[in-house]
């Protein structure tokens, strides 16, 4: 570096460029090994033929995608008509993940706002407290949720004891139980980005709006919300995407009826009964959808930044 | 605006302040940081509660109203422009909130932008403007709803000197044009003196003096005001004789000056005396009965003037200000030379502590 700096402008920047290239190598290696390679592997597997005891035969096949999208009748010899089974599972997954995201937003936004408006010194404490439950393994948290929501569980016991209800509400094994489970699993991913953006918000702007005759509600909608929108969008993406592919909450809380795409994929790789190429194909479809979502999000973000 | 009494509870950031601000007035709250001037302004705007007392605006009691119900608008210190809105949207925001139609709000915003000479920037976002331009947008935004009173919280403090000086005249001009009462908060005494009809000098949550700029400068009521406004020689004196409204004041070292009598200061009192440096002049020989003999210590060049520090024989030091045009090429100002300090009549002013 010192030699480069001494020998003048252009060679100095060349040295920097070269060094920068080499310094980026570990990052590229990590990305390559842990992101690119698995995705490529999955892409390849989705175009292979299934082995009956799990695994694949190295022979090109569109069978997995065909199975996903095409209904060829009971004996598999009819022409392709749309297979609704998996699309329905997908649709339900989107719906469930969407509901969980909205639930997280409704609870998470006031929480984040509350934390961001505490005195600066105790804010980290609040954030810390939000994260404490997440030190426990997700599986254990989801199982304990199952116990909480049971017909004879603490939640129903409590509601009956307060006299709000006479007989237990059936929550477990419903769509709502899955939404609750997903909400609980990913709530911090909603709270933290919103907290970060509210904390950066200049509350002087709210004062200025009030000074200019805006009510509290109008101020929140027209001044606060546009300012914290990037945080809200980030939070929604961070909850929606993992919810979409989640399988623990639907498996444990939703019962057999409330199958989601994550469970479908998981089953294809379990034991000997699975179908690897089909699982890989379903994963690819999921991945594509998430990518589309992220591109939309990135565009939105870029537009928001340009506006500022 | 009449009869504004404000008290501030337990912490007492402001102690029982009572003042009246007239219609059409450019009124300045002046004081060092932490003196409570901004708190007072925020109480008028409605951002701070009034613990005790009342604020009246044209006979209406307003201190219990929320900010969005008060017919006053504020120009904030950091402008607080809405970053996601264009200049026009910013300026028309208040009017839209008042229920004006979009077209009407836009038209009025255009008028306001013309007033602050920003018409060609109407479509820009605040981040695309310079500090001075943002300042004007903030001003236009606050003026657009035609408030009864405009509050300005150190609006010029973030600008550089040249721009600040230009904005002083512009603000004053706009105030005259619109006829709106301006309440202006600043810690800059020069700003206050050049723009204000009247000034309220504040310190430690208390009102020290209220009056026109000239009055505050020439007849400061106490030590704080004399010291804070402009430059002055503050000298400890003991009062000797009082006769016919005049008092003989001893500066120590046998030096004596004639001061105006002040209520509350009797014979034998040890008080302070304020003399503005520009009301003193130097001479080689004793020209008046009360010429004070001393030695030149130092000269400080400050552009149009020269400040000369004089050590009185066996007495205190005094600062004398001479305009450069008066100085010519006399050599009496060189350091180390003996000189006499003379005072214009009536320039010495006794202060209540």
ipTM for the assembly: 0.75
Chains A, B: CB pairs < 8 Å = 63
Q: A208 and B82 in contact by Cβ < 8 A?
A: yes
A218: chain B residues, CB-CB within 8 Å: 97
Q: A227 and B84 in contact by Cβ < 8 A?
A: yes
Q: A211 and B73 in contact by Cβ < 8 A?
A: yes
CATH superfamily of A88-307: MetI-like (1.10.3720.10)
Q: Do residues A214 and A221 lie in contact, with contact meaning Cβ atoms separated by under 8 Å?
A: no
Tens of pLDDT along chain A (308 residues)? 344 444 444 566 677 777 888 888 899 999 999 999 999 999 999 999 888 777 888 888 888 898 888 888 878 788 888 888 888 888 889 999 999 999 999 999 999 999 999 999 999 999 999 888 888 888 999 998 888 888 888 888 888 888 888 888 888 888 899 999 999 999 999 999 999 999 999 998 999 998 888 888 989 889 999 899 889 989 999 999 899 888 888 888 887 777 788 888 888 888 777 888 999 999 999 999 889 888 987 887 788 767 65
pTM confidence score:
0.75
Q: What pLDDT does residue B8 have?
A: 56
- Only one residue has tokens 């609704």, namely A84
Three-class secondary structure of residue A60 per DSSP: strand
Q: What pLDDT does residue A6 have?
A: 44
User: According to the 3-state scheme, what is the secondary structure of chain B?
Assistant: CCCEEEECCCCCCCCCEEECCCCCCEEEEECCCCCCHHHHHHHHHCCCCCCEEECEECCEECCCCCHHHCCEEEECCCCCCCCCCCHHHHHHHHHHHCCCCHHHHHHHHHHHHHHCCCHHHCCCCHHHCCHHHHHHHHHHHHHCCCCCEEEEECCCCCCCHHHHHHHHHHHHHHHHHHCCEEEEEECCHHHHHHHCCEEEEEECCEEEEEEEHHHHHHCCCEHHHHHHCCCCEEEEEEEEEEECCEEEEEEECCEEEEEECCCCCCCCCEEEEEECHHHEEEECCCCCCCCEEEEEEEEEEECCEEEEEEEECCCCEEEEEEEHHHHCCCCCCCCCCEEEEEECCCCCEEEEC
Q: What is the DSSP letter of A47?
A: T
Give alpha helix (H) positions in chain A: 2-6, 9-23, 25-31, 37-46, 63-69, 84-116, 123-131, 138-149, 154-161, 175-200, 204-211, 216-219, 225-245, 248-254, 261-268, 276-307
CB atoms within 10 A of CB B342: 19
The full set of domain ranges for chain A reads 1-41, 88-307
* The dihedral formed by the CA atoms of B290, B294, B300 and B306, expressed in degrees to the nearest 10: 30
Task: Nearest by CB to A213, from B80, B82, B145: name it.
Answer: B145
Tens of pLDDT along chain B (353 residues)? 455 556 555 556 677 777 888 888 899 998 888 788 888 888 888 888 777 777 888 878 787 888 888 888 999 988 899 988 999 999 999 888 888 888 888 898 998 898 888 888 888 899 898 888 898 899 899 988 888 889 999 888 878 888 888 888 888 888 888 888 899 999 888 888 888 889 999 888 878 888 888 888 888 888 888 888 888 888 877 777 777 777 777 777 677 777 776 776 777 777 888 888 888 878 777 776 677 888 888 888 877 788 888 888 777 888 888 877 765 655 557 777 888 888 877 778 887 76
Q: What pLDDT does residue A260 have?
A: 86
Q: A210 and B46 in contact by Cβ < 8 A?
A: yes
Task: Nearest by CB to B76, from A208, A307, A308: name it.
Answer: A208
Q: A212 and B47 in contact by Cβ < 8 A?
A: no
Task: Nearest by CB to B80, from A207, A226, A307: name it.
Answer: A207
Q: B93 and A227 in contact by Cβ < 8 A?
A: no
B66: chain A residues, CB-CB within 8 Å: 210
In sequence order, the 6+-apart residues with CB closer than 8 A to the CB of B54 are B4, B5, B6, B61, B63
Task: Nearest by CB to B82, from A205, A210, A215: name it.
Answer: A205
In angstroms, the separation between the Cα of residue B78 and the nearest Cα of chain A is 8
Task: Nearest by CB to B84, from A209, A214, A307: name it.
Answer: A307
Q: Do residues A151 and A170 lie in contact, with contact meaning Cβ atoms separated by under 8 Å?
A: yes
Residue of B nearest to A203 (CA): B80
Q: Do residues B151 and B112 lie in contact, with contact meaning Cβ atoms separated by under 8 Å?
A: no
Domains and CATH numbers, chain B: 4-225 (3.40.50.300), 231-351 (2.40.50.100)
């Amino acid at each position: 570096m010192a030699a480069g700096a001494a020998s003048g402008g252009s060679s100095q920047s060349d040295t920097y460029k070269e060094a920068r290239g080499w310094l980026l190598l570990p990052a590229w290696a990590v990305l390559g090994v842990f992101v690119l390679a698995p995705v490529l592997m999955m892409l390849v597997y989705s175009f292979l033929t299934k082995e009956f005891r799990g695994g694949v035969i190295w022979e090109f096949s569109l069978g997995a995608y065909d199975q996903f999208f095409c209904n060829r009748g009971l004996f598999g010899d009819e022409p392709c008509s749309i297979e609704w089974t998996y699309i329905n599972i997908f649709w339900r997954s989107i719906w469930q993940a969407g509901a969980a995201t909205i639930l997280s937003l409704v609870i998470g936004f006031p929480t984040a706002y509350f934390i961001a408006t505490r005195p600066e010194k105790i804010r980290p404490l609040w954030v810390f407290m939000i994260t404490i439950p997440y030190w426990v393994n997700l599986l254990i948290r989801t199982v304990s949720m199952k116990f909480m929501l049971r017909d004879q569980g603490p939640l129903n016991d409590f509601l009956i004891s307060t006299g709000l209800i006479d007989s237990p509400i059936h929550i477990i094994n419903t769509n709502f139980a899955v939404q609750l489970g997903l909400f609980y699993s990913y709530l911090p991913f909603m709270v933290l980005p919103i907290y970060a953006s509210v904390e950066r918000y200049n509350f002087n702007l709210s004062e200025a709006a009030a000074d200019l005759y805006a009510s509290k509600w109008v101020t929140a909608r027209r001044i606060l919300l546009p300012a914290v929108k990037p945080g809200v969008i980030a939070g929604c993406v961070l909850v929606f995407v993992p919810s979409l592919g989640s399988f623990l909450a639907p498996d444990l809380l939703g019962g057999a009826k409330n199958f989601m795409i994550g469970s479908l994929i998981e089953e294809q790789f379990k034991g000997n009964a699975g179908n690897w190429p089909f699982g890989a194909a379903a994963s690819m479809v999921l991945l594509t959808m998430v990518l589309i979502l992220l591109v939309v999000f990135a565009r939105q973000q870029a537009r928001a930044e340009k506006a500022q | 605006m009449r009869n504004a009494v404000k008290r501030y509870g337990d912490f007492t950031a402001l102690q029982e302040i009572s003042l009246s601000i007239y219609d059409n007035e450019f009124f300045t709250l002046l004081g060092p940081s932490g003196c409570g001037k901004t708190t007072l302004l925020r109480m008028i705007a409605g951002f701070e509660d009034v613990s005790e007392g009342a604020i009246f605006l044209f006979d209406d009691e307003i201190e219990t109203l929320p900010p969005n119900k008060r017919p006053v608008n504020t120009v904030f210190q950091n402008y607080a422009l809405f970053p996601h809105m264009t200049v026009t949207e910013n300026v028309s925001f208040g009017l839209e909130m008042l229920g004006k139609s979009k077209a009407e709000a836009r038209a009025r915003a255009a008028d306001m932008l013309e007033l602050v000479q920003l018409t060609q920037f109407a479509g820009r976002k605040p981040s695309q403007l310079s500090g001075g331009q943002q300042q004007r947008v903030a001003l236009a935004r606050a003026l657009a709803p035609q408030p009864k009173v405009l509050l300005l919280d150190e609006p010029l403090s973030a600008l550089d000197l040249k721009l600040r000086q230009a904005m002083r005249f512009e603000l004053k001009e706009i105030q005259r044009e619109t006829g709106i009462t301006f309440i202006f908060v600043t810690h800059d005494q020069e700003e206050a003196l050049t723009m204000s009809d009247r000034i309220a000098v504040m310190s430690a949550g208390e009102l020290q003096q209220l009056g026109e700029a000239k009055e505050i400068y020439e007849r400061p009521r106490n030590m704080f005001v004399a010291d804070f406004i402009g430059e002055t020689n503050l000298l400890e004196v003991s009062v000797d004789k009082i006769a016919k409204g005049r008092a003989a004041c001893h500066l120590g070292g046998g030096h004596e000056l004639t001061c105006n009598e002040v209520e509350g200061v009797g014979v034998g009192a040890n008080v302070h005396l304020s003399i503005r440096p520009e009301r003193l002049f130097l001479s080689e020989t004793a020209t008046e009965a009360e010429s004070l003999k001393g030695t030149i210590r130092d000269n400080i060049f400050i552009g149009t003037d020269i400040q000369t520090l004089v050590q009185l024989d066996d007495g205190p030091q005094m600062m004398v200000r001479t305009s450069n045009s008066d100085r010519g090429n006399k050599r009496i100002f060189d350091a180390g030379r003996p000189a006499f300090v003379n005072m214009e009549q009536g320039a010495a002013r006794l202060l209540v502590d």
